[in-house]
Amino acid sequence: MIYEIHLYSPKAGKLTPAMLDWLYQHGQSDDQPEAFWPVRQINPKALARLLLKLDSNLTPHPGPVGDVELHYAQKELNIILYVHNRGVILFFPYMPHGVFSRVVVGICYTYIRYLYDALGFWSYDPQLDILSYADDFQSIDDTIRLMDKVMSRYLPG
């Protein structure tokens, strides 16, 4: 099971639930005029280069239509930043409770915080339905609690 967090740079300086609804309805099509888009268009390769400056241990892989995947150096953690022309999707596995999940989520929130501080990206966690301009330790704890709840159903007691 994969956890995902979406990151966007809003044109108006903030992102609202209505803007997210628009993105989910029209974000996969190219037929909308640029003026309608609530988030900035980005250059995936340029953003990937900035993320590589933050963490040179990320490994870039080409994605479809000019997108870029950045894989965390320790493959067993399965952390991937998928950089596309409107933002970033951060993927990481649901994991059982404990220190290991805190380490993985902490790594992921480092990228989220960097994208917010350096470039004004907001994050949306569809699992928790939380929209945030900058994630903090409360969000980390909420994410870990959700993973614990979900994973406890799949792991033997």
**Domains, the chain, ordered by start:** 2-154 (3.30.310)
pLDDT tens for each residue of 73-121? 998 889 999 999 999 999 988 766 666 777 888 888 889 989 998 999 9
Q: 111 with 51: CB under 8 angstroms?
A: yes
Give the integer Cα–Cα distance in Å for 7 and 39: 10
Which pTM was predicted? 0.85
Query: What single-letter amino acid sits at 108?
Result: C
Say which residue the tokens 């990481």 belong to: 92
Give me 78's structure tokens: 């399965």
Q: Strands 59-62 and 130-132, how do they pair? A: unpaired
Q: Which helix (H) or strand (E) holds 111?
A: helix 99-119
One-letter amino acid identity for 110? T
